Amino acid sequence: MSEEKKNKVLATAGTILFHALLLLLLLFLAIRTPLPLPGEEGVEVNLGYSDEGSGLTQQSADQSQMFRHPEPTQNKEEFASQSTEETPAIPSQKENITKPTTQPVKTEPIQPPQPQPDPEPEPPKIDPRAIYRGTTQQNQNGQGEGITGQPGDQGKPTGTPDSQSYEGSGGAGDGISYNLSGRSATHLPKPDYPSREQGKVVVTIWVNREGKVVRASSGAQGTTTSDPSLRRAAEQAAIKTRFSPSPDSPDEQKGVITYIFLRQN
């Protein structure tokens, strides 16, 4: 056997022997340990009544004073005795008095009178005859107002005396008249009457070829009232007016509509 192998064998044997001895020592110590293990002991602490302080001595409290047993209290009951006996009460006799019964009188409830609804006022009507009553004066030079040169009073039965136009179809017989050459009104609405004033409003209109009023301006010649509400109502009614179409007319044909406002109530 070579020297190197011999050293390896010795080293292995020494290692095994060392660990065997160490294991035997541990087992021996474990067997010698007493069972059960001794209990833990407490540590004395300083006596005091606060978590903070710097005093050196404390007065020991008398344990007899700290632990006092409450003294039992005796419930004393007082017993009352009565020497006299109660005498029974004698019921008193009361006379039965009969009262006359009266029957209630039935009264019918009084109903309050119901108010009668007020009659609705009739809408104001426009009467052109009250505004234009005609004239009795004659022309000093003996000439009339017509354009034909023939005797008579030229005009329309539904027209107005102050108008200088002799063409058109005149008014609608309800205080409204118009003058638009070559055309007739297909829709001529009445204006609202929002005021207590009276008078005549002449509105200048511009009508397109389809017969629709595209513009309206009140206050033309012949207007007799300056009430803004009446003028505004006349303009609104004029815008809603429709005339017969005329393809040969200009793009905007000019005319007038006259509204006469008169209250009859």
Distance of CA 136 to the CA centre of its chain: 66
Q: Residue 175: which of 129, 213, 138, 126 has the closest Cα?
A: 126
The pLDDT score that the predictor gives to residue 30 is 75
The backbone torsions φ and ψ at residue 176, rounded to the nearest 5 degrees and listed phi first, read -125, 130
Q: Please list, residue by residue across 109-122, b when 16 or more beta carbons sit within 10 angstroms of its beta carbon and e when fewer do.
A: eeeeeeeeeeeeee
Average pLDDT, the chain: 72
Average pLDDT for residues 106-127, to the nearest whole number? Answer: 64
The pLDDT score that the predictor gives to residue 245 is 96
**Residue 178 above 80 pLDDT?**
yes
- Reported as a single tens digit per residue, the pLDDT across 128-167 is 454 444 433 344 344 444 545 556 565 555 444 444 444 4
The pLDDT score that the predictor gives to residue 177 is 95
Tell me which residue has tokens 């022997």: 17
Alpha carbon separation from 6 to 2, 12, 13, 221 (Å, rounded): 6, 10, 11, 152
Domain ranges of the chain: 167-265
Cα(161)–Cα(147) distance, integer angstroms? 15
Cα(215)–Cα(207) distance, integer angstroms? 7
Cα(246)–Cα(251) distance, integer angstroms? 10
| pLDDT cut 70: percent of the chain above it | 46
Helix (H, G, I), strand (E, B) or coil at 29: helix
Identify the residue with better confidence: 184 or 111. 184
What is the pLDDT confidence band of residue 263, given thresholds at 50, 70 and 90?
A: confident
What pTM was estimated for this model as a whole? 0.39
- Reported as a single tens digit per residue, the pLDDT across 1-21 is 578 888 888 999 999 999 999
Residue 159's CB: how many other CB atoms inside 10 A? 21
- Reported as a single tens digit per residue, the pLDDT across 209-237 is 999 999 999 999 999 999 999 999 999 99
The pLDDT score that the predictor gives to residue 28 is 83
Between 32-36, 59-63, 192-196, the lowest mean confidence (pLDDT) is in 59-63
Number of helices and strands (H, E) in the chain? 4, 6
Between 71-75, 102-106, 181-185, 211-215, the lowest mean confidence (pLDDT) is in 71-75
Question: In CATH, which superfamily holds the domain spanning 167-265?
Answer: TonB (3.30.2420.10)
Average pLDDT for residues 70-90, to the nearest whole number? Answer: 55
